[in-house]
Amino acid sequence: QVQLVESGGGLVQPGGSLTLSCAASQDIINSGVGWGRQAPGKQREVVAQMARNGSTTYVDSVKGRATISRDNARNTVRLQMKSLKLEDTAVYYCYVVGRVGEIVWGQGTQVTVSS
């Protein structure tokens, strides 16, 4: 099973930006990928996803502020976020859609937006 390791989280001021990266242990070129997040006391939500054909979708709360991208040569998925808000504070997880449709999640990286 593919292993995913996220990085790039940290403390960011409101209005700031950051880029999260997700390194996969194996080829993901034929997989759908995405990012989700979970804030304290809330359920995990998918915020950005990219299908195998490169089409992307975003949850309304991050539209215009988030960009998902992938580097198939490096088995890497990134999430760029700008104009960060306090409510973007959460643990961010990347995921890969496996061969039989299962979702494989990474261990997560904390993003805290605070002044």
2, 77 contact by CB (below 8 A): no
pLDDT digits (tens, 9 = 90+) for 2-24: 999 999 999 999 999 999 999 99
Q: What is the mean pLDDT of residues 95-111?
A: 94
pLDDT computed for residue 92 by the predictor:
98
pLDDT computed for residue 1 by the predictor:
86
Q: Looking at this protein, which amino acid is placed at residue 87? A: E
pLDDT computed for residue 96 by the predictor:
97
pLDDT computed for residue 46 by the predictor:
98
What are the CA-CA distances from residue 12 to residues 16, 44, 83, 92 (Å)? 6, 21, 10, 14
- Is it the case that residue 99 has pLDDT exceeding 90? no
